[in-house]
Amino acid sequence: MNALKVLAPGGFTTVQDKGRFGYQQMGIPVCGVLDSFAFNCANILVGNDENQAVLEITIMGPAVEILTEMDIALTGAEMEMTLNDKPVEQWKSIRVKPGDIVTISQVQTGCRAYLAFSGGLKVPRIMDSCSTYVGGKIGGFMGRPLKKGDILETHEARVLKKPRAIPVAQIPQYPSSVGIRAIPGPQDDYFDCGMTALFEKGYMVTAKADRMGYRLQGSPIPIKSGMPKSIVSEPSMPGSIQVPPDEQPIILLVEQTVGGYAKIATVISTDLPKVAQTTPGDTIRFEKTDLKTAHRLYHQEKNKILKIKALFVK
Amino acid sequence: MESRLFEKPVYRLAGDNGLLVEFGEGIDSRVNAKVRAMARSLGKDRPLGVLEMIPTYRSVLFFYDPELTNPDKLCTLIEQVEKSLEKIDIQPFKIVEIPVCYADEFGPDIENVQKTHGLTRKEVIHLHSKPEYLIYMVGFTPGFAFLGGLDEKLHTPRLATPRMLVPEGSVGIANNQTGMYPIASPGGWQIIGKTPLKLFAPDRANPFIYKAGDKIKFKPISKPEYDLLAQRENC
């Protein structure tokens, strides 16, 4: 069912779901949404199952013409949105009809927004996922970001009986200076004073920040004397903080599978959305945490989503 | 770095949903065989809560869901499996033949490799296509195989300035490594030829033609043979 036509694609708009798991050993990165909280909320708002494909919008939003009656919802980064030139709110379901024009403009705070549609976007499942892997030209809509003139389909779905909204208290803020919790390792033994620098100084997000990784700039993180400058290539995780020879940290995100640089620490999964919502010029302050705390936060985050979901179940 | 097998695996945390398990040090076929044997034994029925199991040169990364498992449970499981691996069994592998055309138009750096080592074109082709290369791991880009066993006479440093785009199918050399680019990507390897085979075809029933543990054998082909195979591959 044709659901929307792209009038303007925005900065970098791709189809994403939770990600592609099980193929990293063949060099296929996980991909998927960078802000899982905003993604989950967007699907809940339009009454979808949890892993339906949405649009991930970066910095500048798209303009689309609606081709069928459905509900849509925009979550994540704060961006102005209009329906036929009238402002509409984020974090709420919006009923749209054929011929409507939805325009999403420049980001105000944050970096990435998520636009969900009743039924979810219908694209071929490649290796068990709808996520776009732009580097590998696979998944999503023809393996690439959206272009003007693209027509996207959605799965058959019923519209909502009544509109939905995420309670204001649950809507995250996206400040330009954020605390990001990380667990030392896997190569924490490669660093001494570098560890102190990482957790005491702030790091600025540079212009080299994309779905593959965020290059940061700040106090140098030297490798302990006597340790090799690189390691035998091994897998990385979304959140791995790797330190190349220039001693400036890079937070690896979802489009990388292996690397040969030592990784001083790993951002906890609960805080990855916060990283993804920073833009060049923002400041990241790393805070040391441990596995027990991180797992407690992980469970809390899961429960938060379950509670939001429960609000809309009769 | 000296390579050796560890007596006991070394566990390293990779955040709140990753556990890195090292079985040895360095780039070594024995260490790598153990990595693959462990991944294979555990992979028969993937442990509960494990989303990804990624074997590499000397380690396996477990990407897990903390709702369902944790590093303690995984360590116990790994040690059980390790005990059951009586000796490192030789995994059945296949030898995958990769046709390569070493013509100038496909190998812009082959002359450079010749000059570096004072070899003729024929000698470079012979030295490159003679061995059976073990695939230690696959990663970096879809289907990118890390191969071991390049003849010392061909070890050539990376280009001083990497290329913005190396064409799909290119075959290259970087120091003691040789490999193929399954998709077009930036890269600093010395490109000496090109294969007409599609090394990564996402819409094919099996998108890949080899896996870690298999061996690669390059087969020199002429330009007309290349064209014929390329045509067949695109049908």
- In the beta sheet, which residues pair with residue A55? A15, A115
SS3 readout for A195-231: HHHHHHCEEEEEEEECCCEEEEECCCCCCCCCCCCCC
Q: In chain B, which residues have their Cβ closer than 8 Å to the Cβ of A232?
A: 1, 26-27, 56-58
- Say how far apart CA A300 and CA B66 lie, in whole Å: 12
CB-based contact (8 Å) between B51 and chain A?
yes
Burial string for B118-146 (b: 16+ CB within 10 Å, else e) reads: ebebeebbebbbebebbbbbbbbbbbbbb
Question: Do the chains contact at B15 and A269, CB–CB below 8 Å?
Answer: yes
CB A272 within 8 A of CB A192: no
Closest CA to A115 of A102, A124, A125, A133: A102
Q: Which two tokens stand for residue A116?
A: 């969900």
* Inter-residue contact A94 to A88 (CB < 8 Å): yes
Question: B108 and chain A: CB distance < 8 Å anywhere?
Answer: no
Structure token pair of residue A119: 């039924």
Rounded Cα–Cα distance for residues B56 and B50 (Å): 17
- E-assigned strand segments in chain B: 4-13, 18-25, 50-55, 59-64, 95-101, 133-138, 145-148, 163-166, 170-174, 177-180, 185-187, 190-194, 215-221
Q: Residue holding tokens 């030297």?
A: A222
Nearest-Cα distance to chain A for B123, in Å, is 30
Comparing C-alpha atoms, which of A53, A62, A94 is closest to residue A80?
Answer: A62
**Six-digit token pair at A49?**
């199952």
Contact B13 A291 (CB under 8 A): yes
Domains and CATH numbers, chain B: 4-87 (3.30.1360.40), 95-233 (2.40.100.10)
Question: Domains of chain A by range and CATH?
Answer: 2-170 (no CATH), 177-303 (2.40.100.10)
- Give how far the C-alpha of residue B214 lies from the chain's centroid of Cα atoms, to the nearest Å: 9
Residue A296 to chain B, least CA–CA distance (Å):
9
Q: What is the ipTM of this complex?
A: 0.94
Note whether B201 contacts A: Cβ–Cβ < 8 A: no
**DSSP-derived secondary structure letter, A140:** T
Paired with A140 in beta bridges are none
Question: Does residue B71 sit at the A interface (CB-CB below 8 Å)?
Answer: yes
Provide the 3-class DSSP secondary structure of residue A55.
Answer: strand
How far apart are the C-alpha atoms of B150 and B50, rounded to whole Å? Answer: 35
CB contact under 8 A, A27 and B67: no
Is the pTM higher than 0.90?
yes
- Average pLDDT along chain B: 92
* Helices (runs of H) and strands (runs of E) counted in chain B: 5, 13
**What phi and psi, each to the nearest 5 degrees, are found at residue A286?**
-80, 140
Give me the tens of pLDDT residue by residue for chain A, a chain 314 residues long. 899 999 999 999 999 999 999 999 999 999 999 999 999 999 999 999 989 999 999 999 999 999 999 999 999 999 999 999 999 999 999 999 999 999 999 999 999 999 999 999 999 999 999 999 998 999 999 999 999 999 999 999 999 999 999 999 999 999 999 999 999 999 999 999 999 999 999 999 999 999 999 999 999 999 999 998 788 889 999 999 999 889 999 999 999 888 888 999 999 999 999 999 999 999 999 999 999 999 999 999 999 999 999 999 86
Question: For the segment B187-216, what is each residue's pLDDT rounded down to a tens digit?
Answer: 889 999 999 999 999 888 889 999 999 999
Q: Which two tokens stand for residue B95?
A: 């030898």
Residues in A closer than 8 angstroms to B139, CB to CB, are 24-27, 233, 235, 257-258
- Evaluate whether A74 touches A42 at the Cβ level (below 8 Å): yes
